[in-house]
Structure 1
Amino acid sequence: MSGTSPHMEQQRHELLSDVADTVASVLKDHGIEQPLAEQAGLALADRLATHWGGQLINIPKDYRFKLANRDLLIYEEFNGNNHAELARRWNMTMRGIYKIIERARKRDMDHRQPKLF
């Protein structure tokens, strides 16, 4: 007895199929011929199953990364006095825009001037 439910087996199958299909699609978009792209997708799905099979893996939705990208775009659009315009454009409050600018400015400063200790 394997100890896994049919529902879990179906989800695992869907995940690996989606990985194979996605890899093949991305490779085709980059000019790789379909048979080779599909072969690479299946090889990656096989590798994941072999290497990570049996592990409990939680894949984050990575919303923090997406927010960081949005914050960077807002900071790049900031010209010193367009808080209201940015708030409207990004469907945020002005307070939210001020916070983003402050965080982005701090990250930028920390990147340009590392701490001494």
Structure 2
Amino acid sequence: MTTKKTGMDALRSELLDDVAAHAKHILADHGVGTDVADQCGVALAEFLADHWGGQLINFPMNFLYKLAQRDLVIYDEFNGRNHAVLASKYNMSVRGIYKLVARVKKRIVAEKQPDLFPD
């Protein structure tokens, strides 16, 4: 029997479902098999529920997380034509390298470029 969640229960469940799905997506983009990526996503959501459940947490909006050192190294080694070489070197998919380069570039530009229309 499945019960429909409402109100805050639905939001909490949606948050953990979203975390699990996003982790699965990121891992799959980095070449991890779908089954393993799904298991990791669920494990991450369970970790958050077990360790942070019951806490009132407010996530800041537009917070740029510190880039992982490995991502910066890969970005520094990227020359515009070596996606496949980097994918092989760092055990990632070529698609994962494309996404990593775009993500790092976006964050670097966001940190260096002033906002033209501040709130």
TM class by shorter chain equals 0.5 to 0.7
Partner in structure 2 of residue 41 of structure 1: 41
Structure 1: 5+ residue runs without aligned partners?
A: 75-89, 97-117
Partner in structure 1 of residue 13 of structure 2: 13
TM-score (norm 2): 0.52
Alignment of 1:1-117 (within 5 A): 6-62=6-62, 69-73=109-113, 92=116
TM-score (norm 1): 0.53
Supply the distance in 2 between the matched residues of 1:27 and 1:64 (Cα, whole angstroms).
Answer: 20
Distance 1:25 1:71, change over 3 A: closer
- RMSD over aligned CA atoms reads 3.2
TM-superposed CA distance for 1:62, in Å, is 2.7
**Matched residues, number:** 74
The one-letter amino acid paired with 1:58 is N
**Structure 1 vs Structure 2: percent identity of aligned residues?**
41
| Highest RCO, 1 vs 2 (Cα 8 Å, sep ≥ 6) | 2
Supply the distance in 1 between the matched residues of 2:9 and 2:46 (Cα, whole angstroms).
Answer: 15
Indicate the structure with greater helix content: 1
Deviations 1:56-97 (A, max 9, x none): 0001113577998535146xxxxxxxxxxxxxxx8x38xx9x
Distance 1:68 1:28, change over 3 A: closer
